[in-house]
């Protein structure tokens, strides 16, 4: 299915449609998201959206690529930069993630859902793909750091990468929990997913980094 017809649309209409789709898929998982509801809200015919994207599944893929592209744009420079101090770099990765959320709350909310999507029959495969990519990237960075002697050699990179991955996907849950934020409500109202100050973010990052760096155990004096 080509999205030729869609791209012939006036850019403004394209954006309206995209926004509404993101909203629907940010508020519901794949299965519960309804194309019928999207077209009703947009006031366009049902046939149109299928003309533009072919099927619900292809629409979903389109949105993943679209949001992924935006995310890449924001974090590209950061990902390419040399890693001097690993933990400082790691903090930066986080804060970029949070900046992306502040800039594109809808895409961020959508990706939050994608990562947690568990609809095996239909779309689990895309999710696994993107997970593997992120995972392997983390692994490669950690291996490099281990070679440089920055990381203990008696723990498996696998386990470590997993902790990082978990922390990475879990940071939003943590913020939601601590600051009692209701993502869905904010998405509904077109607000940013959460409102935290730069300070609060840094505090959080310092804590997480410190735990991972030196452990939680009280040092003997």
Window contacting a copy of itself (CB under 8 A); options: 34-42, 60-68, 188-196, 211-219: 211-219
Cα dihedral 182/188/194/195 (nearest 10): -120
Identity of the residue, 11 or 159, whose beta carbon is nearer to DNA in the bound complex: 11
Identity of the residue, 35 or 74, whose beta carbon is nearer to DNA in the bound complex: 35
The reply to whether 155 sits near a copy of itself by the rule CB under 8 A is yes
Cα dihedral 77/82/83/89 (nearest 10): -20
Residues 90-109 that bind a copy of itself (CB under 8 A): none
> Mask: binding to a copy of itself, 157-186, rule CB under 8 A, as x and -?
-xxx-xx--xx--x--xx--xx-----x--
* Residue 72 falls in which region: left (phi positive, over 0), alpha (psi -120 to 50) or beta: alpha
Which residue from 10, 43, 47, 215 is in contact with a copy of itself, where contact means CB under 8 A?
A: 215
Q: Is the dihedral of CA 60, 64, 65, 67 positive or negative?
A: positive
Window contacting a copy of itself (CB under 8 A); options: 6-14, 38-46, 69-77, 153-161: 153-161
57 binds, among DNA, a copy of itself, none (CB under 5 to 8 A by kind): DNA
Locate 141 and state its tokens. Answer: 């960075």
The reply to whether 76 sits near a copy of itself by the rule CB under 8 A is no
Which has the closest alpha carbon to 112: 76, 153, 71?
71
The set of long-range contacts for 130-135, using a CB threshold of 8 Å and a minimum separation of 24, is 130/64, 130/68, 131/165, 134/165, 134/168, 135/161, 135/162, 135/165
- How far is 129 from 181, CA to CA, in rounded Å? 29
The reply to whether 11 sits near a copy of itself by the rule CB under 8 A is no
CB of residue 5 vs a copy of itself: minimum separation in angstroms? 32
Identity of the residue, 43 or 215, whose beta carbon is nearer to DNA in the bound complex: 43
The reply to whether 125 sits near a copy of itself by the rule CB under 8 A is no
């Amino acid at each position: 299915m080509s999205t030729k017809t869609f791209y012939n649309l006036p850019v403004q209409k394209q954006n309206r449609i995209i926004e509404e789709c993101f909203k629907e898929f940010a508020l519901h998982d794949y299965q519960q998201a309804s194309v019928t509801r999207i077209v009703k809200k947009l006031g366009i015919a049902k046939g149109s959206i299928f003309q533009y994207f072919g099927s619900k599944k292809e629409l979903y893929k389109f949105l993943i690529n679209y949001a992924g592209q935006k995310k890449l744009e924001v974090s590209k420079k950061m990902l390419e930069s040399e890693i001097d101090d690993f933990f400082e770099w790691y903090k930066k990765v986080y804060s970029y993630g949070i900046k992306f959320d502040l800039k594109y709350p809808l895409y961020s909310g959508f990706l939050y859902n994608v990562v947690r999507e568990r609809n095996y029959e239909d779309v689990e495969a895309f999710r696994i793909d993107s997970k593997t990519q992120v995972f392997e990237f983390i692994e490669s960075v950690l291996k490099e750091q281990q070679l440089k002697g920055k990381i203990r050699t008696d723990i498996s990179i696998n386990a470590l990468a997993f902790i990082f991955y978990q922390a990475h996907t879990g940071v939003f849950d943590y913020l939601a929990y601590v600051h009692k934020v209701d993502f869905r409500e904010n998405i509904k109202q077109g607000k940013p997913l959460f409102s935290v100050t730069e300070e609060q973010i840094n505090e959080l990052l310092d804590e997480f980094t410190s735990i991972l760096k030196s452990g939680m155990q009280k040092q003997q004096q």
